[in-house]
Structure 1
């Protein structure tokens, strides 16, 4: 997941540096998906390391750690942008280039893996 999310963001950076326009179906939603997905996965790994090193979950808000609540918000954002990206990709499927189609497909594949992963670790639980 990390590689796919980071690769999409790197591809977008290269596209912008070259001055090429955004392809149909590849607007803001895929960029947000890649950014929130990458932040969630890396933040989760960082949180696990923090808890393992300090043996405390950090500051609490109610009965939950603040960092965990932030990860849950990022997870919700990732899930919403997954749906928006899939919808945009579906609507523009005839007008996208093969390269854009492959990049969006890889991004959606990573987000399809992300959702069960987040459910397993409890990031989508209320």
Structure 2
């Protein structure tokens, strides 16, 4: 069984939709349940835009054939979500939400960067052969 769909296949669209919805749910769960903040529909919409933007970046790289970029970007996002939940459970005198969002953004950015570097290295390796 393949972990990712073939390049430029319709499977990436379905994966994008599931990826974005799952990420939206996890970020909302962190904010409204783990941090105990009151529900805000506008903020939920912003979380969805952020989530689907990241899903478009990750799945777009995969759709173009960058499976390593997709996998490393996804790994960075997963680490970022885990860090958000870790910071939500720390007593930081009200800074838990900001620390969690910054950790999430940093982990996602590192994942994207490492994925692009890995794709570049793979491309150079193929070019050399």
Pick the TM interval, shorter chain: 0.3 to 0.5
Q: TM-score, normalised by structure 1?
A: 0.33
Q: Which has the higher helix share?
A: 2
1 or 2 for the larger relative contact order (CA 8 Å, sep ≥6)?
A: 1
Q: TM-score, normalised by structure 2?
A: 0.32
